[in-house]
A and B are shown apart, each in its own frame.
Chain A
Amino acid sequence: MTQELIDTAVFEELADAMGADFAAELVTTFLSDAPNMFAEMTQALATRDADAYRRAAHSIKSNAQVFGATLLADQARDIEMATMTADASALTALQTNFDQTADVLKALLDE
């Protein structure tokens, strides 16, 4: 059993405070915007642009926190804090985590 990808308490609080419709809109925005952030990270890794790499990770972390995606946020923060290397494994792992988190978020929307 993996750790919960979404802290439902956080997510429900968001939905409660902002309205379910708006929370859904936010999730949709995040899901459509996130690929841009990952693209930025990938490109930053290729061009050794450490600032851009960190900034994109920061954005992902920040958004993940909004939805209670704790694991994703932690992983993104680790990348943000670490010194950038040529190793893409952290990015790959982050992407994998995002994909799973995205599924959970979509499922929450459908509820």
Chain B
Amino acid sequence: MFDKILESCQRLIRCSDLSLVTLDENQLVHLEAIRGDAAKLTAATYKPMAFEQTILIDAVRLEQVMHYPDALNGPDVPLALRKIAAKFANLSSLVAPMVWQGKPVGGLFVTRILDDPNWTPFTQRDMDLLESFADQAIIAIQNARLFRETQTALARQTASADVLQVISQSPSDVMPVFEAIAQAVYKLIDCNGAAVITTDGTTFRTCATMMDGELTDIVHKVDQVVDPVKNVVSQVITNKETLHLPDMSVLDLPEFDRPTRDTYGMNASLTIPLLRGDDCVGVLGLLRVDKKAFLQEEIDLAQSFCNQAVIAIENVRLFNETQAALSRQTASADILRVISQSPTDTKPVFNAIVSAGDKLMDCDSTTILLRDNDVFYPLAGTGKGKPLTRLSTNAVKIEAEMNYPSQVFVTGEMVHVRDEAQTDLPPHEVDTFLKFGMKSVIYVPMLRDGHCIGVLIFTRTKTARAFTPEQVKLAHSFCDQAVIAIENVRLFQEAQDARTSAEEANEAKSAFLATMSHEIRTPMNAVIGMSGLIMDTELNAEQHDYARTIRDSGDALLGIINEILDFSKIEAGQMDIENHPFDLRDCIESALDLIASKAAEKQLDVAYLMDDNVPPAISADLTRMRQILLNLLSNAVKFTEKGEVVLSVTSSTNRSGKASLNFTVRDTGIGLTAQGMSRLFQSFSQADSSTTRKYGGTGLGLAISKRLSELMGGTMWATSDGPGKGSTFHFSIDASPATLPDTTTRSLIGAQSELVGKRLLVVDDNDTNLKILSLQTQKWGTHTTAFSTPRDAIKAVEGQDSYDLAILDMHMPDMDGLALAKAIRARRPDLPLVLFSSLGIRDVEAEEGLFAAYLAKPLRQSQLFDTLITLCSLAAPQKQVSKPVAKPKLDPEMATRHPLRILLAEDNLVNQKLATRLLEQMGYRIDLASNGAEALESVARQIYDVVLMDVQMPEMDGLEASRRINADYPEDTRPKIIAMTANAMQGDREMCLAAGMDDYIAKPIRVDILIQALLDVPPNIKDIS
């Protein structure tokens, strides 16, 4: 711009040289533009100088264009002009001042060489022209200044806006803001370096620096301690006042600041504190190479950037505090979640706490110590930001004066080491602090009921920085959480232990019950056996009654004990359910057999009905199923005074392909109230207490049965139409249909060739029995005619119908089976008659040959089948039915038919049990002697029909005992002696017989030989009578 002015000036005013200068506020003259012969040289060497020393002096003072026609010789020529003329050549010159609003702002001057004939002296016109050019220059200068000021204001506003934008975009981090400020400062204020520094009052940290137009690496990377003596920044931080050093070259700078001047060549500095209220939070530093004071305007601008920096710092602080509060809450929630998720183990909780501790406490490691009586040991910790997996296992003794953790353990008070360098450490900590480089540490107690159970340690190793009250509060909350976790685990463990011990106690109780029951059963066997034996002796009626009471009570007690044993087994979870294939009918019929006599005593009709689709053989627990059946059946008999007990079995296939068998036992007994029904299946409970008084029983039977059916995959329930209206018990079990390995069981299902078309007459007053008989026989293909009264039956026989077979019930109101049989026999002498009756009726039978067969109640289908087949085959002898060869079975009635008083002399437990069992199964009760001497004692005390004598026995062997018996008792009164020995060698038998024994059985015992040997012994006749 100035060049343009000079150029047009030169065109109008011919001259050798011309130049334009400006004057600054300090009255220094600056060369702005120059043209002409000396232009290059002058521009290169020109230095700003005071206007008094320049040729402007008079022009400015007089505010008019000066004309110096002869620089060397003319009067009043300014010294500077005279020097130029002397140096180059004599010249004439015009000097025009530039004055703006009464203030000189510069000047314009032109020269002509005097001695050159080309140049003529300046004219008035030239002076006027120059003056107008000066005015133009002023306008140009003002324009330029205005433009520049506008530009600067715009740039500053832009910079402020930029900084504010950075502030808003960087809510969590001050660094971008500081960098933006450093850049703006550098750009807008004439300087060679700018830096933003923050401080917490004790240390300061350089955050951003600008040098040579760009952001540079931070020279002092570590935090510096604030010390006013040591550096300028610290002075400003401490004094909280701006420090302006326009010329550092003359100052005796502290060592810290010397490189700024000596290495980087900075000679002026401006350092402004960043003040938040009364706190100094940092400084803004500006540096200049030139020894030039910063203008007030620049200082103000810098100050405005400082304010922005403070806003940014505040902003970030508030944001971070909010964030910190949030993350503390999150951490708390996280830790609480970990606590709830690990009820058995504190470890995950502690790891969560130490990890959160590092982050939220702004520390470098976190450690948890736990107390164990008078020592403590580390439980969890972090190192390098990760939970430590290996911790020292060494326990440290608690000694308050030796180390900080101990002190906390003893006092329960927090210890805060703000700066290890300024702390007198306890003996142990000196090493510890050195070893781990600990600078600032807090030890916070974990308090439970006022006792310190642990210590949480937060450590800073990088710099010594005290923990803020906020952080201390947070540390305490971590401690609370740790205590909660420990308590949680302890309580959980206690609950667990309590449960375990309760379970153990329950199991022990059950085991005890089982053992006790077993221990009681053993002597009970003796009570029952001995009372049985007493009854076998000669007793008067009263004694016999007593003995029977003892035996019956024993039986009852044994039953109770067995129930308790079962129950405790179930309770203890020791009831094993077996799974074997068996014949379902056999199982049902054997259960019915056992209640038959009781039912017969009460003249109850007992029947069972089985659906055709029920599998004949199933895989299940035979014993347990029979136990349930027996329980329900005997209950039914027990609680029914008259009427009937009917068992029916149906089957359905369940989803898993197994058969679900449903059993129903219906009676016509006392029935159940709704209340009674609810108590029914509870252990030790019957329908009501009056039931217990009247009918006895433990109340365990149904509870056991229900459990057993549940163990077999089913359930049990009862229905009743109310008191007096009978009850029905249902139970189900799951069972797989099975095929029996021994296929001797016949198919009772479907039409049977031998029976198809046979005409059957059935007479029974009981509808159920009549129905069962009719249904069952018709399934086999017979034509069955059923009559519920003898009168109708007789009429039918008298009629034209000819029957192949008649089945007559024994117990009928008007005419019993015997009378009816006689009536029919009179009319149809050839018709085979079958009597259907309760057990024992056979003995009462009067006339031989009246009945072709007997059917016992409850009706067994296999028995009915056999009977019908046999009788129909007899009638049609061409069809021979091969009967399956039955295995030799132990006959429980043998003792009844062939009563014997037996002594077993046997020392060996296994053989004792085996023999006892075999004999019991034949219905015998036996006495035991465990050697020859005991056998002699027993024989002396008691009359025996037979002694089963082991040969090899301690004390006195069988041979010697036999010889003594023979010697002591006459041949006809002494018991028979049967040797039982495992010798089984030639000569053994002879040896035994020679010793006076009567028979000889080799061991192991064979059932048939035993039976034969017993049958060879004459029975105890008195018992039969």
Contacts and interface: CB of A to CB of B under 8 A. Distances in A.
Interface string B908-932: 1111011001100000000000000
B909 A33 contact: yes
A54 B983 CA distance: 12
Contact of A66 (B890, B907, B914, B952): B914
Contacts of A62: 908, 910-911, 952, 982, 1003-1004
Output the residue of B890, B910, B911 with the most chain A CB within 10 A: B910
A65 interface: yes
Interface string B603-621: 0000000000000000000
B1004 A66 contact: yes
B161 interface: no
Interface string A45-70: 00000001011001101110110000
Contacts of B983: 58
B623 interface: yes
A58 B910 contact: no
Nearest to A10: B1004
A94 B463 CA distance: 82
B954 interface: yes
A21 interface: yes
A30 B1007 contact: no
Nearest to B578: A20
Contacts of A26: 910, 913-914
Interface string A9-23: 000000001101110
A59 B914 CA distance: 14
A59 B953 CA distance: 9
Nearest to B888: A17
Contacts of B952: 54-55, 58-59, 62
B1003 A65 contact: yes
Contacts of B913: 22, 25-26, 29
A56 B680 CA distance: 54
Contacts of A18: 914, 917-918
Given A33-B909, A63-B908, A65-B1003, A55 B914 contact: no
B917 A65 contact: no
B914 A65 contact: no
Interface string B981-994: 01100000000000
A66 B954 contact: no
Interface string B872-891: 00000000000000000010
A26 B916 CA distance: 12
A28 B937 CA distance: 30
B1007 A17 contact: yes
A41 to B, nearest CB: 13
Contacts of B1003: 62, 65-66
A63 B910 contact: yes
B909 A29 contact: yes
Contacts of B578: 20
Contacts of B914: 18, 26, 66
A22 B920 CA distance: 13
Interface in A53-109: 54-55, 58-59, 61-63, 65-66
Contact of A33 (B910, B917, B982, B1004): B910
Contacts of B953: 55
A33 B910 CA distance: 8
Interface string B883-910: 0000000100000000000000001111
Nearest to A21: B623
B917 A58 contact: no
B809 to A, nearest CB: 36
A62 B906 CA distance: 12
Contact of A63 (B890, B911, B918, B1007): B911
A59 B623 contact: no
Contacts of B623: 21
A17 B983 CA distance: 23
A55 B910 contact: no
A65 B1003 CA distance: 8
Contacts of A29: 909-910, 913
A20 B578 CA distance: 11
A19 B907 CA distance: 23
A52 B623 CA distance: 42
A59 B917 contact: no
A58 B1003 CA distance: 11
A21 B913 CA distance: 13
B1007 A66 contact: no
A106 to B, nearest CB: 15
A55 B954 contact: yes
A65 B909 CA distance: 14
Nearest to A32: B909
Given A21-B623, A55-B954, A59-B952, A66 B911 contact: yes
Given A22-B917, A58-B982, A52 B954 contact: yes
A10 B1004 CA distance: 10
A96 B911 CA distance: 23
Contacts of A25: 913
Contacts of B982: 58, 61-62, 65
Interface in B938-991: 952-954, 982-983
Contacts of A61: 982
A54 B954 CA distance: 11
A61 B910 CA distance: 12
B1004 A65 contact: yes
A42 to B, nearest CB: 16
Contacts of A65: 982, 1003-1004
A25 B518 CA distance: 12
Contacts of B917: 18, 22
Given A29-B913, A52-B954, A66-B914, A59 B1004 contact: no
Given A22-B917, A65-B1004, A30 B954 contact: no
A88 to B, nearest CB: 22
Contacts of A21: 623
Contacts of A30: 909-910
Interface string B576-594: 0010000000000000000
A65 B910 CA distance: 11
Contacts of A52: 954
B486 to A, nearest CB: 46
A51 B168 CA distance: 110
B74 to A, nearest CB: 142
Contacts of B909: 29-30, 33
Nearest to A61: B982
A61 B950 CA distance: 14
A22 to B, nearest CB: 6
B630 to A, nearest CB: 16
A59 B1007 contact: no
Contacts of B918: 18
Contacts of B1007: 17
A50 B656 CA distance: 64
A47 to B, nearest CB: 14
B107 to A, nearest CB: 125
A88 B457 CA distance: 71
A22 B983 CA distance: 25
Nearest to A40: B954
A14 B438 CA distance: 82
Nearest to B952: A58
B177 to A, nearest CB: 81
Given A18-B914, A18-B918, A52-B954, 13 more contacts: A18-B917, A20-B578, A25-B913, A29-B910, A30-B910, A33-B908, A58-B982, A59-B907, A59-B952, A61-B982, A62-B908, A62-B982, A66-B1004
Closest 4 pairs between A and B when the two form their complex, measured CB to CB: A62-B982, A63-B910, A58-B952, A33-B909
22 contacts: A17-B1007, A18-B914, A18-B917, A25-B913, A26-B910, A29-B910, A52-B954, A54-B952, A55-B953, A58-B982, A58-B983, A62-B911, A62-B1003, A62-B1004, A63-B908, A65-B982, A65-B1003, A66-B910, A66-B911, A66-B914, A66-B1003, A66-B1004
Interface of A: 17-18, 20-22, 25-26, 29-30, 33, 52, 54-55, 58-59, 61-63, 65-66
